[in-house]
């Protein structure tokens, strides 16, 4: 089976999007959560890119991820800064905790990794179950506006020890009916011209219509839904390349 956010892809994520790296989202989340006094949960917390800046601002944030390799890097990044949040392995659609949160956040389009509709619905219901009444869900989505079968991209990253990691990514499937794409990535780590490690990854991504996702949230029991774009609160999106941010309140039991 192809891996999913295993050792090399997790290392690349930390190189490409280090702690505090922002697309405008770090500042946006800090601002939107400013009134939050209770606990916050970040599903799919990754290597701590947003988790750590929130902790450093004094927010009480827990995080989980389905990738043990991601969590290992996240713990190291936290410990290097004297931070020891509650981190655990889990999946968005099936994690179960005895506590409820004042806010749940899913930045950077991570929610779209749940490419099967039934899993995404389970996850949203699970988020609702883990929010206090009046708690907020904030989630970023992106459209797939330039996807095409057979499109191959390549990138290279330099590691701190002089090694390099290359990625060749190939889109292999697009399902317009069920609204997702699948790409395969080949990661390779090199040292002085010699191949040290290879990793193959299957990477799914779903997409939603803006109003479609709002209707789903309403059906699950969310209300007071605000749709924003490019981290400008309340500005409705006008083109498919913008980041689309939903903020919704758990208004029904």
Classify residue 48 as left (phi > 0), alpha (psi -120 to 50) or beta: left
Q: How far is CA 105 from CA 131, 141, 153, 209, 247, in A?
A: 11, 12, 30, 20, 9
CB burial class (10 A; 0-12, 13-18, 19+) of residue 35? exposed
Q: How many CA atoms lie within 13 A of 250 on its CB side?
A: 21
> Are 80 and 116 contained in the same domain?
yes
Distance of CA 56 to the CA centre of its chain: 20
Q: Which two tokens stand for residue 41?
A: 């949960």
> Are 21 and 43 contained in the same domain?
yes
Query: CA quadruple 17, 18, 23, 28: dihedral positive or negative?
Result: positive
What is the pLDDT, as a whole number, of residue 1? 43
Domain boundary pick from 206, 221, 237 = 206
pLDDT band at 5 (very low <50, low <70, confident <90, very high): confident
The candidate with the shortest Cα–Cα distance to 41, out of 80, 122, 95, is 95
Q: Tens digit of pLDDT for each residue in 96-153? A: 999 999 999 999 999 999 999 999 999 999 999 999 999 999 999 999 877 788 788 9
Q: Which two tokens stand for residue 111?
A: 């929610």
CB 40 within 8 A of CB 105: yes
> Are 182 and 223 contained in the same domain?
no
The candidate with the shortest Cα–Cα distance to 195, out of 227, 168, 236, 166, is 166
> Are 220 and 240 contained in the same domain?
yes
Give me the CATH number covering residue 96.
Answer: 3.40.50.150
Q: Tens digit of pLDDT for each residue in 65-100? A: 999 999 999 999 999 999 999 999 999 999 999 999
> Are 26 and 102 contained in the same domain?
yes
> Are 201 and 211 contained in the same domain?
no
> Are 178 and 67 contained in the same domain?
no
> Are 193 and 177 contained in the same domain?
yes
How far is Cα 112 from Cα 43, in angstroms, rounded to an integer? 12
> Are 80 and 126 contained in the same domain?
yes
Average pLDDT on 23-42 reads 96
196 lies in some domain:
yes
> Are 61 and 120 contained in the same domain?
yes
φ, ψ for residue 146 (rounded to 5)?
-130, 30
86 lies in some domain:
yes
Distance between the two ends of the chain, CA-based, in angstroms? 40
pTM (2 decimals)?
Answer: 0.94
71 lies in some domain:
yes
The number of domains in the chain is 2
2 lies in some domain:
no
1 lies in some domain:
no
Q: Please check the confidence at residue 252 and state whether its pLDDT lies above 50.
A: yes
> Are 39 and 80 contained in the same domain?
yes
Q: How many residues does the chain have?
A: 253
Q: How far is CA 77 from CA 10, 53, 73, in A?
A: 13, 11, 6
**What range does the domain containing 132 cover?**
7-143+207-250
Task: Reduce the DSSP state of residue 80 to 3 states and report it.
Answer: coil
> Are 194 and 224 contained in the same domain?
no
């Amino acid at each position: 089976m192809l891996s999913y956010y295993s050792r090399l892809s997790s290392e690349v994520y930390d190189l490409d999007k280090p702690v505090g790296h922002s697309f405008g989202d770090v500042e946006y989340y800090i601002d939107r959560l400013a009134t939050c006094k209770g606990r916050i949960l970040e599903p799919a917390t990754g290597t701590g890119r947003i988790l750590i800046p929130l902790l450093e601002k004094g927010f009480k944030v827990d995080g989980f991820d389905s990738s043990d390799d991601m969590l290992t890097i996240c713990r190291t990044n936290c410990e290097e800064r004297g931070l020891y949040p509650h981190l655990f392995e889990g999946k968005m659609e099936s994690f179960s905790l005895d506590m409820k949160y004042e806010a749940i956040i899913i930045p950077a389009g991570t929610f779209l990794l749940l490419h099967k509709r039934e899993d995404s619905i389970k996850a949203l219901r699970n988020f609702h179950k883990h929010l206090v009444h009046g708690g907020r869900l904030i989630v970023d989505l992106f459209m797939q506006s330039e996807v095409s079968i057979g499109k191959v991209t390549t990138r290279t990253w330099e590691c701190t020890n002089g090694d390099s990691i290359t990625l060749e990514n190939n889109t292999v499937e697009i399902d317009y009916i069920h609204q997702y794409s699948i790409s395969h990535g080949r990661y390779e780590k090199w040292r002085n011209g010699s191949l040290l490690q290879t990793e193959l990854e299957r990477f799914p991504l779903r997409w939603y219509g803006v109003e479609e996702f709002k209707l789903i949230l309403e059906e699950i029991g969310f209300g007071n839904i605000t749709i924003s774009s490019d981290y400008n609160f309340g500005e409705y999106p006008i083109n498919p390349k913008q980041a689309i941010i939903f903020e919704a309140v758990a208004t029904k039991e």
